[in-house]
Amino acid sequence: MRASLADHLPEIINQLVSKAKGGDVQAARILLERVLPPVKAVESTVQIDLPQGASLTASGEAIMQAVATGALAPSQGAALLSGLGSVAKLKEIDELEARIAALEQSKD
């Protein structure tokens, strides 16, 4: 099937181009979809100052303040808060590991 189509491909493409030039929107769409990659939405980067060495709560409040003042888009704030939540979970795991290690050492 592909080989059969390959033989006629130049003719098919020329016909699509002719139709697109003649105003056939469907033909133009097919050509453009195959030639140009779809444009993906890209968020611009934003730099915010989080309090250095501050608690996770203070960092979260700084992110919320940045969203409230319009320095960050709500979706960016949500992503940062989600990341902050992941950091909090990692900190919790580290603290639990340290407590378990201390308990095991006290048993010896």
Q: What is the mean pLDDT of residues 48-68?
A: 92
% of the chain beyond a pLDDT of 70 = 99
Is pLDDT of 41 > 90? no
Task: Tell me how far the alpha carbon of residue 53 is from its chain's centroid.
Answer: 27
- Using only C-alpha atoms, the chain has a radius of gyration, in whole angstroms, of 28
Q: What is the mean pLDDT of residues 71-93?
A: 95
71-77: long-range contacts, CB 8 A cutoff, minimum separation 24: 71/46, 72/46, 72/48, 73/43, 73/46, 75/43, 76/43, 76/46
Q: What is the mean pLDDT of residues 18-38?
A: 91
Give the pLDDT score at 3.
82
Q: What is the mean pLDDT of residues 42-55?
A: 85
Locate the domains of the chain by residue range: 2-35, 56-107
Rounded to whole angstroms, the Cα distance separating 47 from 55 reads: 19
Is pLDDT of 90 > 80? yes
Compute the mean pLDDT over every residue in the chain, rounded to the nearest whole number.
Answer: 91
